[in-house]
Each structure stands twice: as structure tokens, then as C-alpha cells.
Amino acid sequence: MSAELWNSAAGVLETNWAGDHMVPSRRLYPHQWSWDAAFIAVGLAYVNPTRAWRDLRSLFEAQWPDGRVPHIVFDPAMAEADYFPGPAFWGVPAYGSRPAHGSTGIVQPPLHAVAAWEVYRRAAAHGAAASQQARAELEWLYPRLVAQQEYLTDRRDLGGGGLASIVHSWESGLDNSPAWDDAMANVPADLSLLNVYRRRDLAVSDASHRPTDTDYARYVGLVLSYRAADYSDTDLLARHAFAVECPSFNAILGAAELSLAQIAGVLGHTGAAGAHRERAQRITSAIVSRLWNPDTGMFHARDTHTGKLTPARCVSGLVPLMLPDLPAGQVEGVLAAMRSERFGLPVTSYDRTAADFDVLRYWRGPVWINVNWLLRRGLLVHGRRDEAEDLRAAMVRLVHRNGHFEYFHPETGEGLGAPCFSWTAALALDLLADRSVPAYAKAA
Ligand code: 9WN
């Protein structure tokens, strides 16, 4: 089973390579996406480390001068109509040495430091030349990864409590999650926008899986709002209808500091390593004090405008398990939620017992491999090796039986969304190959 899965996964990554970057899926997502590149690099490291580094480098070559890493880097070879919203819609001005319309103006979870560290670790297995190349790549990436962290912890701390706010649900990577429903209800849904700007996702995928038109009208309206001031973050909270502190985004922000501590150590920046660890601790404390709900025993998204936690129980509320300094009470709470009938293995994107749990619709029920991969990492960080192994086995079985799909039906396991999806294939490689524990795990 493993050789077959390995070969099919490697085949997907071969098919989706586009010269200097990987596309998530040829048809649905024909450009480069930010957090996809991080997950993809983790798996590419086994079969083609040069491409893993190239993909990360392509992404960071498009980093903005303020440190933000755009959620999509557009491929100039594709047409505007190939993906909506495309480059002209985003209307990003030229920056640095990049021409206008080269990227979007929003971000995605900053998983790249975690990925860069994983690619570096694998390099040893590919011999001395690969190790040397890996160190040079880390040298190039390190200041850029730090700039990304600084942008998010400084410019995006809209709530003033030490966490980054996302200002579009696409920034979470969990676009249509019920976690955003309350905050999104305050965003005007101008359906006439969809007459001006046409969705393309419905031409290439099933409408019952995708966000509704009302959701999409809000998504478009939020981009127009941010775009109106050229994606400036100054006084953003006062003039933008959606701002949320997402537990998963911020957990990844904290985990990135821990990987930066590892990277700084390898590069000989010993003082910096301590500072990264301290920043990770501060982010962890802020997640606990701002996003924990003792009644549900898990983390929830917080509306930055109102200060209210959403009641929805979503997979994002489990991801802080990745943080080694999470206090024991929160660790136990998250583990209990994961083991409960609400989630199950592999973990669903939303509470299975909720009245609006939807087995098909985007991020409102189906199983995604990438968030399960983050949760497996969390289990390993907290020394739960047996549960981590159960989750690993469940993920491998799911992908082996059903293929490298974008997401999976939570009851039948049927593959849904885009086939030949890059992060599913990449993470399958990692799940087959890697039983090691993250460097910053707590002693079991
Ligand atoms: C919008 C590429 C991306 C992922 C996101 C996923 C989906 C885009 C879309 O696809 O988002 O960015 O068009 O729905 O939700 O996590 O990065 O794979």
C-alpha cells in the first residue's frame, strides 16, 4: 500500500509543478497559494528538495515591502478568467521589483517557517550538497520569515491584545468555516456585485460544495473595502467590516516562532533564538486568555470589533494544540473535544453534531488532510504518540482508498473538490515517511 500511495503522491506533485512553483490544482487553483506552498514543501522535501526550496523562494520573492506574504502569487501566463478573483480584480499596485497585479493583498497562515525547518531537516538524507544548499536557502529565507512575523504581530494586531486579526475569511485558509458566520453577518452582502464580478469556481466545481452567492458577495465586498486604500492597515479596524482573531492562524503564528528559533540556532543567531521562543510564549498566552471558552473546553474565533467569541465549534479551535506551552487544562480540553463525537478521526472541519453540519460544503463539515496534519503535530508535541499514530493511520487510509482529493466526505470518505490536489499528496508523503517528533515538543 505504501509504495502505491507514495508513487501516486509523487506523481501528483510532478503534474502540478509549473516551472518555478506548484499549483494547488491545475483546474481550480492555477496560481501559487501561500499556505499551500508551506504544506507542499514539507512533502516535496522527500522527492525533490530543490523544488521545495524553489517553491518557497518564488513565494517570498513576491513578499511586500511591509513584510506581508500575499495569499496568491499570480502566474502571468494565466488569463484573468482562469481564476476569480484574478489579478486585475485585486488591483495590487507595483511594489519592489514586482510589476502591478502580481499578487493579492491579503495573507494566509504563516506556516512557512515550520515548512522551511522541515525541508532543512530532510536535507541531511540527500547528502552534503543538499545540506549546504539547504543552509543557504535558510539564510535567504530567515530575514523574510521574520519580516512576515513582524508584519502580522505588529500591523495586524488590530485588537491590541498580542494576536493577529484576519481581515478576510480567505486569510484563515478555512474560507467558509462557520467560525466566521457571526462576524460575516455584519458584512454587507451586495449580490449585485456578482453581476459585475462573475464567480469561476462554479464552472469547475459543484455548487453544493462551494460557498453560497451570499458568502461570495461578502468576500468580494471585503476585498473592495481593503483595496480602496491600497491594502493599508492604518486605522483598518475603523473602516473595515470584518476582523477576527482566529485560533488556528495564531497558533501557526506561534509555531512559526518556534521553528524560527530552530532556524536561528542553525544559522548561529543564538540571541535571536531566545527572542523567538519568548514571542511564541507570548502568543500562546494571548491565545489562551483571549480565545479559550471554558464552557465548551476549546478555542473559538473572536470578533475583533465586538470582542465576542463565536459559539461555533470548528476545527480551528483545536489547532492551538500545536503549541508546547499550552497549559495542561487547555491541552486536556482540546484532546477531549477531538476524541468526542463532535470531531472523530480524521477530524472533521466542523462539529458533527451541529444542526448545520454539512457533509459536502466547503469547510463546514468535510475532512481536510492539512488541518489533520497540524493536529497530528499537536499530538506529538504533547507526547500523545499513540493517538498521533491512530490519526496518521486514519489519514493514510483515507487518502489511499479515495485518492489525493482536496477534501473528503466525513461519513463515506469519498474524495471531494479538486482531484490531484497538491497538499494532500505532499502530506501523504510526509505521513508515510516521518514518525519523528517536532524539535520543540514537550518532554513526554
Ligand atoms: C481562496 C488553494 C486555496 C487554499 C484555501 C482553500 C481555497 C481559495 C478558494 O483554496 O481557497 O483562497 O478559491 O476557495 O480554502 O485553504 O489555500 O488551495
Percent of the chain with pLDDT over 90: 89
Residue 412 DSSP one-character state: T
Tell me the C-alpha distance between 168 and 176, whole Å.
11
Which of 170, 223, 405 maximizes ligand 1 atoms within 8 Å of its Cβ, making it the mutation to test the pocket?
Answer: 170
- The answer to whether 52 and 119 are in contact (CB under 8 A) is yes
Tell me the C-alpha distance between 56 and 115, whole Å.
9
Q: What is the pTM of this model?
A: 0.97
- The answer to whether 292 and 408 are in contact (CB under 8 A) is no
Contacts with 67 (C-beta within 8 Å, 6 or more apart), sequence order: 147, 148, 149, 150, 151, 152, 155
Q: Quick check: CB of 24 below 6 Å from ligand 1?
A: yes
**Backbone Cα Rg of the chain:** 20
Q: Quick check: CB of 226 below 6 Å from ligand 1?
A: no
Q: Quick check: CB of 29 below 6 Å from ligand 1?
A: yes
Tens-digit pLDDT string for the chain (444 aa):
589 999 999 999 999 999 999 999 999 999 999 999 999 999 999 999 999 999 999 999 999 999 999 999 999 999 999 999 999 999 999 999 999 999 999 999 999 999 999 999 998 777 888 888 999 999 999 999 999 999 999 999 999 999 999 999 999 999 999 999 999 999 999 898 888 888 888 888 888 888 889 999 999 999 999 999 999 999 999 999 999 999 999 999 999 999 999 999 999 998 999 999 999 999 999 999 999 999 999 999 999 999 999 999 999 999 999 999 999 999 999 999 999 999 999 999 999 999 999 999 999 999 999 999 999 999 999 999 999 999 999 999 999 999 999 999 999 999 999 999 999 999 999 999 988 899 889 876
Question: If you measure from the C-alpha of residue 171 to the centroid of ligand 1, how many angstroms do you get, rounded to a whole number?
Answer: 9
The CB density around residue 275, as the number of other CB atoms within 10 Å, is 15
Residue that is written with C-alpha cell 500545536 in the block: 322
| 153-194 per-position pLDDT tens digit | 999 999 999 999 999 999 999 999 999 999 999 999 989 888
Tell me the C-alpha distance between 150 and 63, whole Å.
13
Question: If you measure from the C-alpha of residue 185 to the centroid of ligand 1, how many angstroms do you get, rounded to a whole number?
Answer: 21
- The answer to whether 21 and 73 are in contact (CB under 8 A) is yes
Catalytic residues, by residue number, are 175, 406
C-alpha of 135 from chain center: 25
What values do phi and psi take at 77, rounded to 5? -75, -15
- Alpha-carbon dihedral sign for residues 233, 239, 244, 245: positive
Question: If you measure from the C-alpha of residue 182 to the centroid of ligand 1, how many angstroms do you get, rounded to a whole number?
Answer: 21
Can you tell me which atom of ligand 1 is nearest the CA of 34?
Answer: 17
- The answer to whether 32 and 23 are in contact (CB under 8 A) is yes
| Amino acid in position 324 | P
